Structure 1
Amino acid sequence: MKNAILEKSFNFSLDIVKLYLKLKNEKEYILSKQLVRSAISIGANVTEAQYAQSKKDFISKMSIALKEANESEYWINLLSKAEIINEDEYKKYIKDCIEVKILLINIVRKSKEIS
């Protein structure tokens, strides 16, 4: 069975790394650097949570990933409003980010109910 959040968070991070490299080549450093940091943190925390020491640790790591996803959404919106990314790019990245957020919200909520 596939682990949807591991897969989606990894793919989102990878896509944002590619966007960051593109924007860096276009001399946009500030916003894209903030986005890449928050986006790769999502996948890192989700991965770390797979071997959490306890249920509390698992919830903590997934909650951090959720906060980072929320921050990533902010940076994507800002990049769009500043016209640094186009409408098609915005739609793709915001859709992927929201999908990750929804999964994380459900994981955190269900994990808290069980514990």
Structure 2
Amino acid sequence: MTSDELKRRTKAFGIQVIALVEGLPDTKAGWAVGRQLIRCATSVGANYRAACRAKSKADFIAKIDTVEEEADESLYWLEILDEIKLTKPELVKPLAREANELTAIFTKISISSKKK
């Protein structure tokens, strides 16, 4: 997967999460979980773009580690949404799968970068 493809994929993930959160109930739980989820899901793409402009290998690794953390945090909040049943499981499952895949991709990139 190229850098541009990964940029598009991470942006699409953020946009899809925003759409999901827009459909959450207007409750304290919906607001709280939705706010956290939007924050970390959109951070995946934003921080990946920053990593692509890193000024050094150490800077790149630090930024990629942040991307990995944000992708994993997104998965956490999606799991919370699913477990407390704030929305339909069929809306959460594909996003949880994508968050898991993104976490794995960025974990691999981080490990590979540290070995070089």
TM (norm. structure 2) is 0.90
Unaligned runs of 5+ in 2: none
Which residue is 1:16 aligned to?
17
- What TM-score, normalized to structure 1? 0.91
Code of the residue aligned with 1:16 in structure 2: it is V
Q: Give the CA RMSD over aligned residues.
A: 1.3
What secondary structure is seen at the aligned counterpart in 1 of 2:87?
coil
CA distance in 1, matches of 2:105, 2:93: 18
CA contact (8 A) 1:5 1:104 kept: no
Q: How does 1:1-115 map to 2 (within 5 A)?
A: 2-3=2-3, 4-23=5-24, 26-27=25-26, 28-114=30-116
User: Which stretches in structure 1 are left out of the alignment for 5+ residues?
Assistant: none
SS in 1 for 2:55: coil
Task: Please tell me whether the aligned partners of residues 73 and 97 of structure 1 are also in contact (alpha carbons under 8 angstroms).
Answer: yes
In the TM superposition, residue 90 of structure 1 has moved relative to its aligned partner by: 2.1
* Amino acid paired to 2:42: I
**CA-CA distance at 1:2 after TM superposition:** 3.6
Check whether the contact 2:20–2:91 (CA below 8 A) recurs between aligned residues: no
Shift in Å, 1:30: 0.8
**Shift of residue 50 of structure 1?**
0.8
Q: CA deviation at 1:6?
A: 1.6
How many residues are aligned here? 112
For the residues of structure 2 that align with 1:14 and 1:108, how far apart are their CA atoms?
A: 24
Give the counterpart letter for 1:108 in structure 2: S
**Distance (Å, rounded) in 2 between the aligned partners of 1:21 and 1:85:** 11
Supply the AA of the counterpart residue of 2:92.
Y
